[in-house]
Structure 1
Amino acid sequence: MLLITILNFAFPADIPEKVSVQLQWKHQFEFAGFYAAKEKGFYKEAGLDVDLIEFDGVSNIIDDVLNGDVTFGITYSTLIYRYLKGDPLVMLANFLKQSPLVLVTQKQYKLPSDLRGKKVMVSDTIINDAKLMMMFKKFDMNESDFISVLPTFNLQDFIDKKVDAVTVFVTNETFQLDKRGIAYNVLDPSAYGVRFYDLNLFTSQKELREHPQRVSAFRNATIKGWKYALKHKDEMIRLILAKYNTQHKDYASLKYEADQMENMILSKLYPVGSIDPKRVKEISQTFISLGMLSPSTPLDLDPFIYNTVPDDIGLSQEESSYLNTKNVITYCSDPDWLPLSAIVQGKHIGMDADYLSILSEKIGRPFHLVPTKNWNESLRFAKEGKCDILTLAMETPKRKEYLLFTNPILNIPLVLVTGIDKGFYTNLRELADKKIGITKGYAYEELFKKINPGIKLVGVESVTKGMQMVAKGQLFGFIDNLKSIGYLIQKEYVGTLKISAKFDQNLVLGYGVRKNQPQLRSILNKAITTLNEGKIQAIENRWTSVKIENGVNHTMLLMILLVVLLLILIFYYRFRKIHAEKNALETISNIDALTELFNRRKIDQLINSEVKRITTKGRFSLILIDIDNFKNINDSYGHDVGDIILKHISIILKNNVRKKDCVGRWGGEEFLIVCPDTGKQEAARFSERIRAAIENERFEKVLNVTASFGIAEYNRENIDDTPLIRRLDKALYQSKRAGKNRASVAS
């Protein structure tokens, strides 16, 4: 007992693991989530002792992580570029959904194209400013079109007008400019469709491979810290002032930064720390577009984006830890077994692929296909450990020597296919002298040889080959599962082959897992038990639909039906063609060519229909929308940009109107919405939603556009009082006179 006490004292069980984090800049609210995780004990609870390292202005953060000088790093979207160039990195979390990096210009420069030949203070490497360079590219500019000035990190150079533009962060420097009363313009790449991530947490693939639990614990504690920091901004500001204020900022500066950070984290829209693979791919393609990466660069992002373990299938701690070490799960499948499975031009299709897609969502890991030429090669690859799982495989004594099997996912009858002129067989002894094909390596080859030794089984390469041999008379019949046989009959052998027998044995299919990965088998079993029956049935319905032949020859009936079907198709084609031509003419007469909304002619018809309807019952409202200052847009940017604005707003209207509403272009920059069975208050709330959507949208070149709204309700009591449009015009005029960008209801 004394020895145990001494050992416990000498080697305490709960010593926190020391890890370090290289910040991407000086201490400020940008790293409040990390401060919260450290100071509130979240890292300590995770068994970690975390050292937060302030940026020294010269370190290369990515290289420091790769070299093992620090455990984790925080950096810009440069991280994605470095991974695509071959560096073994893992992106663990993203906190800023929009990069705060913008270009501040002297007040006379309003567009990127205004900076041709001007002095622009940017980073010494295009990688760091790829977001800005992509914005310039949209204006047919590159780095040779302006004079690059190396950064001094001194805002005074801009204030003294030594440069015409400088890169800044809207979380910090713009506040300083406003505070000092300096006039400036902001060129934000995101306003031109260039959206980059920032504040990206990452580590090396080596760290993840060797310490998966530590990586997971650190990531989770950091996200917990950010959630706390966003809910307690004032507390975090005071903490920074007391303990992390190396830049000597005041409360107001940190409060401004905190509010800006919250706007860019967008925690109400995205889970804190989440990574959108589509956005990462979009950023990757930006690097390619700028010529920084070859167009042939493979965008294989699965090993790069850290996948979190889902918590809705009841995984144990051991299973979760296992998944933390597996960014990708490899699998081998049958390359020629439709509708169950096939590989076409390197892509896996069939029911198997659909099941794997659902299971991937369940366990939070992608499945990667290891292509094979045939089923025997898939078996060999599984035996040699070249893939983690063998999909839709039947358990046999031989396979159990090297695979663990999950619970079944499919249970399918086995059937015999023959020529259509053959009989229907209920007694398999009738097949004793027949040559019957069966796919080599399939589990039921072994099964049938044992239970039906009298049948002459001939091994063939695939189900497709077996069916071909039956059709050519080289085999009397072929044995396989009902779904595959039925699929191929409907696709290629209608009127040639039929199902002539159903066996008592079924094909029971699950997943074979490498024997050294029992955790994966248990994870897949848990995922399989949570599969939605509706989704499984939808997959089966999409791929299969077949009935077993009852032994009657239907050749003549089939031929008659085909002729009748052909005549029906001819008449249907003629009808559809005439109907399509009629619809096309009607569309041309009712649709505005520019916006693809209803034109004024069609809107007039709709209004007249509503007027006739409410003579007996009901009511309706009209909403008239006018783009504010549209003449100035045309005069300043040209009619081409004006047309783009009209199209953009028409899309906003289409996406926001209700099913029962009809929207059209009333003329020029005016739009009109007909709202059946709608009172003025409901129409006003609806208008406010559309008004906000337009105000918050970013438009090409113009950026911000607003619109004014006029609303009027019509019913049996007031329909004859005033001309309809006059009441609308008056309401719209009230909005314009009151300052625009608002909605007014006609009295």
Structure 2
Amino acid sequence: MWKFGQASKTVPPLNEVLNGNADFGVAASELLLARAKGQPVIAMGVIFQHSASAMATLTDNGIYTPQDFIGQRLEMGDLSSGAETYAMLQAEGITPRQYEQIPSSFSLHRLINGDVSAVSVFVTNQPFYLKEQQIPYRLILPRSYGIDFYGDTLFTREKLAEDNPQLVEAFHRAAFKGWRYAFDRPGEVIDIILEKYSDFPFSHSRKHLEYEHREMEKLVLPNLVELGHMNIGRWHHMANTFVSLGLLQPDYSLEGFLWSPETPKPYFQRLNLQILGVVTICVFLMGLSLLTFNRRLQYQATQNQLLTKEKEELEKKIDMIFWSGDFGYWHWNRSKNVLYLNEKAAAALGGQHEAGLFTLQEIQVNESLISVRHFFSWFSEDIRKRRGRFELERERLDDEGQTCWLTCRGEVLDLMPDGSIKTSHGILLDNTELHRARQQVEQLTITDAMTGLLNLRYFMGRLEAFMQRVKFGEGYFSVALVDIDRMDMIRNEYGSYTADYVIETLSDIIQQQARPMDLIARYTDTSFAVLLPGTTAEETQSACDRMRKHIAHYRFDTSSHNFFATVTIGIVETQEFSSTDLSSKQLLHVAEERIETGKLKGCNVLITRNNQTLTSP
């Protein structure tokens, strides 16, 4: 008789199994932490090949990437239960000081009410409520940023597996047989749930259960991966992520963590083996007969033909997969120093030649085999250190000097007696277009379309990040607002096209006059904002006054007009405020007030602390 631990907000399944109140349970990444810290638990099989964890945000919140979390309120679990999200933030260079973490309430109320900007969810469940209420949302997945953890894992106590291996194997077989049945007959299983568990707390509708089935199928991959399959390399990747988050020490060990069945042969199976041995001896004696020998030869010949045909068909299927997926394939036999590359792999590595096997001697003699040299130069050293499946990425320059991105996905097939790699294989993918498209999208989300300067939304995020550093005693900065004088008169007198020309030209002048580390954004239709890190009042005043004079002396020439334009600049410094009064809104408010004061005093004016005015030409 076995007992199964169920999830609870008060008692986690891990504690139930370790305390003996249950024999089996399902846990997330906390199972790995427990094992690495000495808890006697073992993983029996993975249910979800990819984690269902994600961060959900409303479309109106303007959050597209993890960088947009800076300065936001995020509702999510603690570090051990939400490790994927914390690892994603760390990988993107975002520290806990740059956002506010709100403990998870296991609901979407705060997100919908606007109390938080994003909330941790399972993609198989909570998004359904947003779809049902027709609330536009966006999901930010950790695995899109290189953090790909396993999802739910079936586990038990190590001692139970040692004392009663038959029970553990029987439960493993029954559990994943049940999952297989559920994915093969989703409609039938949904009917059973609605009939027997409709009064269960948090029960779902048929439409919700059908949504869960579709989303779970994308994460479990039951038609591509054997149910329960797990790879020690993926577990090490997860453990290394925990090390980077400070949850594990670098000298962790996962020895004995993955369970493997050792089923004794039943009596009838042993009996069959004995009978098979006797029959084999009889066949050998009968083989002395020429007729039987000839028949066996004919049978063997037929089987060889079938195997050859099946091998050829399999090779054709593999070639079709590589061709349709535009993949480059490689196979490295390190013990023989032989590398195989197909044409796609050669092209991805910067070479042009037909598919073939290449020896180390050929590489040294034939200088045209740059693709082979590139493979050993870029990947071989890292591949030697890998075990199981792995993924590597390299940047290279093409013939025109443009940066290209190349991804190598592979698997170690065999090891030599000393533990070093013997053979491995994999595919090569040219991800250049994907990288460039991502860069273009990121650029569009942070820049102003007309001037190419930073847009206001991104500028405010960076301003808030600098503000937090100042509050923690890490430096100081100044902000200058630059407003174009008499812009309405320019637009009315010379037209909208000329007015736009003035805005674009002044944005170029401001960029030329600013330092490389200064942040420049389009603040309003006719004004700009400049953030000057680490500048004193005198340095800021000098830089802005030089900018003001340069603009005042610039002549605008059009086909029918020539004229001058001036700006009014308001400067504010963080040193003017105490740490309690210091905020982004307060800084900008003071700078805007100084712009208004300058406008009252005339054009071509610079206003600093205490409304000090500079108007010299």
Q: TM-score when scaled to structure 2?
A: 0.45
